Every structure is written in structure tokens, then in C-alpha cells.
Structure 1
Amino acid sequence: MLVRYFAAAAASAGTEQEEVVAHATMTRSELQQVLTTLHPVAPPGEKTLAQVLPQCSWLVNGVRHQDPESTIAPASTVDVLPPFAGG
């Protein structure tokens, strides 16, 4: 699946996008755990991805997924969007 990070999430991950290998459907919370495992340390001056992700909105194929137990198919595109301009 393609994961695209924006703003503070991109800064914390150290990349704007990456392919995450998923052989089966996973929940958003499982994906979040995978992402924090892939990026355990933040670049200097940034928060860790584990600190940023809980504040983010998640779009899966352009549709907002608020429920951490919502499922994500392996071929999905996931956008991780932190709050912008304080909200």
C-alpha cells in the first residue's frame, strides 16, 4: 500500500511517501503500529511519528477513516494528514 505523509507527519517520517508491504487487509491501528516501527526515531528537531500519528486524519483512497479499527486493503493509498494551522 502507498502511504503518503503530509506536513508534520512527513517531517517525522523523514519522507513524503513510502510503499508498505501488506499481504492482507489490516486495521488502521495495525498500520499505525507498522509505521511507528518503521520510523522509531525522528529527525533532529522533530516529534516522533508515534507522537504525531494519533493527532492525524487518515484518508484511505480519498475517504476519511476515523475508526482505528476500520480496515485497509493492501492496494490502498493512505494519506496521513496532521492538523493544519492549529486545527
Structure 2
Amino acid sequence: MTAVLLVRYFAGARAAAGLAEEKVEAATLGELVAAVTDGRPKLASVITACSFLVDGTSWRDRDAALPSAATVDILPPFAGG
């Protein structure tokens, strides 16, 4: 089942996407990644190193169904500590 998700970009992912957030329709994280990188080669190269938070929880399974109306944060690796 496809859900409308709020996608928020941070740091280098924000720069590559060209915006801070957007709404995307997707059923899985894999579908979401495909949707946001379509036609955005810079974001496609950055997103390979990114981690994902779904409603504040780390999410790695690209085939698992996303919760309806979730917020997905796309976080590139951060330097420093």
C-alpha cells in the first residue's frame, strides 16, 4: 500500500536534493529512494552513503512496508564527533 511520506534531507543530502523536504508517495524505502533520486544524479550519488530514520527509528530494510504518513529523514555521514 502506497503512503504519502514527508521526506526531510539533511546536510549534503539537502544540498544534492536542492530542497529541505518534500512529500513522496512510496510503499517501501526502496521505492522512496527510487522516487527521490529519479532525475537527480547528485542525490543518487550521495544517497548511497546515507542512513534513514523513519519516524525517528533507524531503517535499513528497503523492502519492508513503511508506516502510513511517516516522516523519513535522509542523513549523510557526518564528520566530527
User: Which TM-score applies when normalising by structure 2?
Assistant: 0.84
Count of residue pairs the alignment pairs up:
77
| Structure 1 Cα separation of the partners of residues 64 and 48 of structure 2 | 15
- CA distance, structure 1, for counterparts of residue 7 and residue 19 of structure 2: 10
User: Which residue of 2 is the match for residue 13 of structure 1?
Assistant: 17
Rounded to whole Å, the distance in 2 between the matches of 1:78 and 1:10 is 13
Q: Identify the residue that residue 80 of structure 1 maps to in structure 2.
A: 74
Deviant stretches of 4+, over 3 Å: none
For 2:68 and 2:35, the matched residues in 1 are separated by 13
Instruction: Name the % identity.
Output: 46
- Quote the offset at 1:41 in angstroms: 3.8
2:48 is paired with a residue of what secondary structure? helix
Between the aligned partners of 1:58 and 1:70, the Cα distance in structure 2 is: 13
| Pairwise CA RMSD | 1.9
TM-score w.r.t. the length of structure 1 is 0.78
Uncovered stretches (5+) of structure 1, i.e. residues with no partner: 43-47
Structure 2 gaps, min length 5: none
How far has the Cα of 1:70 moved from its partner? 2.4
> What's the counterpart of residue 4 of structure 1?
8
